Amino acid sequence: MQIIGIVGTAKNTGKTTALTSILDSLSKNEFSLGVTSIGYDGEDIDNLTFLPKPRIFLKEGVIIASSSLTFETSKIKYEILYETDIYTPLGKVIIAKVLEPGKIVLAGPNNIKDLKKIIALFKTLNTDFLFVDGAMNRMAPMYLADKVIFSTGASRSTEIKNIVEEISLISLIFNKNIMPQYDINSNCFFVKNGELLETEIKSLLTKDDLLKLFSYRPENYEKVVIKNIFSSAVVKEFVQEILKKKDTYEMVFLEPFRLLLSMNDISISEFRRMFTNNINISFIYKPSLIAITVNSFYPKYENFHFTAGYIDKYLLKKSVVEGVTVPVFDIFEEGSKDLVKLLS
């Protein structure tokens, strides 16, 4: 089973459009499809802006994981396969097969622990694909996916250069290698001459944590492994420190999304330095980034309400294509026929 995550850099970047288009393209084949969401997706009007939103239309045979209340308010006919003990604000998560097609709002497991359980259950159902729709700009559980698609666009920023700066960095991050797991429990540790030097540090959250980490640091270490959070508060000092070293040098993180969590307007330039200098970065887990979708729509706020706004879609796509190393699609314009070819 392939787990495909659709991650947004912000709300309204076109994740659901991408998902529904992909589901539609794939439904013509014989694939068995599974779908869930880590948020709440497919509503007819946006919870915040009250603008209309695309709804998720499911065909017969699709297997979904969603909360009990979403089944109550949908007209699809379904057969329950599993009733889990996972709860979201909308009730228990149920895995069901669609018997008669219809529209539904998806609200599945919204955290790492629960998504792991759902993935395990889907594996017993022998689905070919499990699509995990993202929510807003949330992404922590997405490292469990095999492949990811990032959706970005004018909702992230109406300035194309800002969109490109972020997505090109994301593309760079996902280009890094995968490093095998080390067999120790420690969250932060150093590697020198093949030996592992453990620390008791749980996360690099604050500057204090960083100082403590440096106190453990052996001379001429080759690698530092940081499995937990690498926060925006420590990036600058850490990068400065590392760039002092002359030799090439390795940093290993658990997975790329926890780095993205720490990326903000201030730390983004530090991250760029981290990824473009003589630092080898690798991840223990890393879904492959197979595609990026772009969306020129954004909710424009004027006169106390929201209306639909658009930036130049040709310039947007062109600029993103130039900044990344994976294929870029404007689903609304092109559909997903070519994107789905990248899935198998």
- Per CB under 8 A, residues contacting other proteins are 10-11, 38-41, 43, 47-49, 67, 69, 72-73, 87-91, 105, 107, 110-113, 135-141, 202-203, 205-206, 209, 228-229, 231-233, 257-258, 261, 264, 299, 301
φ, ψ for residue 248, nearest 5 deg: -70, 160
What's the min distance (Å) between Cβ of 195 and other proteins?
Answer: 26
Instruction: Between 51 and 191, name the residue whose CB sits nearer to other proteins.
Output: 51
What's the min distance (Å) between Cβ of 141 and other proteins?
Answer: 7
How far does CA 326 lie from the centroid of its chain?
Answer: 15
Instruction: Between 134 and 339, name the residue whose CB sits nearer to other proteins.
Output: 134
Instruction: Between 143 and 221, name the residue whose CB sits nearer to other proteins.
Output: 143
Q: Which residues pair with 139 in a beta bridge?
A: none
CA distance 173 to 186: 24
Strand intervals (E) in 123-168 = 129-133, 147-153
Instruction: Between 267 and 336, name the residue whose CB sits nearer to other proteins.
Output: 267
Instruction: Between 214 and 301, name the residue whose CB sits nearer to other proteins.
Output: 301
What's the min distance (Å) between Cβ of 306 and other proteins?
Answer: 8
φ, ψ for residue 111, nearest 5 deg: -140, 170
What's the min distance (Å) between Cβ of 41 and other proteins?
Answer: 8
What's the min distance (Å) between Cβ of 38 and other proteins?
Answer: 6
Q: Which residues pair with 95 in a beta bridge?
A: 65, 82
Measured CA angle at 164 (ends 163, 167), to 5 deg: 85
Instruction: Between 27 and 203, name the residue whose CB sits nearer to other proteins.
Output: 203
What's the min distance (Å) between Cβ of 45 and other proteins?
Answer: 11
What's the min distance (Å) between Cβ of 133 and other proteins?
Answer: 11
DSSP 14-52: SHHHHHHHHHHHHHTTT--EEEEESS-B--SB-TTT--B
CA distance 296 to 315: 10
DSSP 72-127: HT---EEEEEEEEEEEETTEEEEEEEEEE-EEE-B----SHHHHHHHHHHHHHTT-
CA distance 338 to 333: 12
User: Taking the CA of residue 242 as centre, how many other CA atoms within 13 Å lie in the half-sphere pointing to its CB?
Assistant: 27
Instruction: Between 14 and 141, name the residue whose CB sits nearer to other proteins.
Output: 141
Are the CB atoms for 226 and 253 separated by under 8 Å?
yes
What's the min distance (Å) between Cβ of 304 and other proteins?
Answer: 12
Instruction: Between 71 and 221, name the residue whose CB sits nearer to other proteins.
Output: 71
